[in-house]
Amino acid sequence: MATNTTEKVNLPSQVFDELAKRYENGLGGAQIDIVRGILSHSKDKYPIDSNSIVHDNACGPAVVTNQILSQGISPPPHIFATDYAEGMINVANCYKERNSWDTVTVQHMDGQSLTFEDEKFTHSISSLGVFMFPDEKKGLSEMYRTLKPGGWIGVSSWKDVRWPTAALAAYEKVFPDAKDPMVLPLAKNWMDPESCERNLREAGFQDVKAEVLPCANRQPNAKVGASIFAGFLKQISPTARAWDEKTWERYAECLSGLIEEMFAPSADGNGVEVTLYAIVTSGRK
Ligand SMILES: C[S@@+](CC[C@H](N)C(=O)[O-])C[C@H]1O[C@@H](n2cnc3c(N)ncnc32)[C@H](O)[C@@H]1O
């Protein structure tokens, strides 16, 4: 019988290259809810204005950048959007060109060794980013180093992204005699507000606050939602990546059924949604 333990897995940038094009639809708008939560913390403590210099760290498809610029700050602040996956950088650059984001610089960069000088930024934001770096302590210390004194940090992580429960239940059902647990890339020390606050305090930040933020993954229907979640899992679980196609199909059928049950009709009558739980943590240097 498999013990359903999970552990942190180091994801190479190629995994995110493969995910880049499907990433935004896959999270179904939850990533936007989360960034808005981060920005509302900033608004309370240290609002972003025209003079701000912002780092969108592990930017993915420039989600933080997009939300800041859609606030209509005039003139817009300077934003440096960086990520270590070429696929994500390509998507971010497309948005930059399409929307004429003249104050945005998009750069390919590992968040564990930023090439920016010390004390460059007024705001350093990493939504669903730094918590999944192989060395998140190094990631946080780089954010600290590159923030101006008094500067503001905002990060987010997952408390419960929901699909792991279904993934482990399907594993138990399909492989009741498995000797090895299913390996999923969960960052255990970022899954409750107390741990998140401790992570930022240990990195040197003050005035730290964390809160759980419900957000909705909205999809056209449960089948689409299930196939997206299953696709994510196939990319990021070393256990699933090692299976042959037949084994995967057997597992995916069971998994999809369980995930479909998680979706409920959206309140506005458009499609379906499932509530995920993120944690937003912020502080000052
Ligand atoms: C879940 S996505 C989050 C994207 C975006 N920030 C958002 O709010 O949706 C995680 C991102 O972290 C990036 N990433 C992971 N490890 C990284 C590292 N060591 N350095 C830079 N980016 C990294 C991935 O390429 C991916 O774009």
Measured from CB, residues less than 6 Å from any atom of ligand 1 are 13, 16, 31, 35, 58-60, 63-64, 83-85, 88, 110-112, 127-129, 132-133
Residue 6 predicted with pLDDT over 60 = no
| Shortest-distance Cα residue to atom 10 of ligand 1 | 129
Residue 1 predicted with pLDDT over 70 = no
What letter does residue 237 receive in the DSSP assignment? -
Least confident of 17-21, 138-142, 252-256: 17-21
Q: Which atom of ligand 1 is nearest to the CA of 16?
A: 25
Residue with the bigger pLDDT between 26 and 108: it is 108
- Position 4 scores a pLDDT of 46
Over residues 112-128, the pLDDT tens digits come to 999 999 999 999 999 99
Pocket probe mutation, ligand 1, options 17, 25, 38, 59, max atoms within 8 Å of Cβ = 59
Residue 237 predicted with pLDDT over 50 = yes
Residue 13 predicted with pLDDT over 70 = no
pLDDT band at residue 9 using 50, 70 and 90 as cut-offs = low
Residue 282 predicted with pLDDT over 60 = yes
> How many Å lie between the centroid of ligand 1 and the Cα of residue 16?
8
- Position 15 scores a pLDDT of 66
> How many Å lie between the centroid of ligand 1 and the Cα of residue 200?
18
Residue 160 predicted with pLDDT over 90 = yes
Q: What is the mean pLDDT of the chain?
A: 93
Residue 68 predicted with pLDDT over 60 = yes
- Position 16 scores a pLDDT of 65
- Position 146 scores a pLDDT of 98
Over residues 46-58, the pLDDT tens digits come to 999 999 999 999 9
What percent of the chain has a predicted confidence (pLDDT) above 70?
93
Q: What average pLDDT does the segment 95-101 reach?
A: 94
Q: What average pLDDT does the segment 229-240 reach?
A: 91
Residue located via tokens 């792991």: 164
> How many Å lie between the centroid of ligand 1 and the Cα of residue 179?
32
What percent of the chain has a predicted confidence (pLDDT) above 90?
86
- Position 267 scores a pLDDT of 87
| Shortest-distance Cα residue to atom 27 of ligand 1 | 60
- Position 129 scores a pLDDT of 97
Residue 18 predicted with pLDDT over 90 = no
Over residues 166-211, the pLDDT tens digits come to 999 999 999 999 999 999 988 889 999 999 999 999 999 999 999 9
Q: What domains does the chain contain, in order, with CATH numbers? A: 13-284 (3.40.50.150)
- Position 20 scores a pLDDT of 66
Q: Are 79 and 105 in contact (CB under 8 A)?
A: yes
Tell me the pTM: 0.92
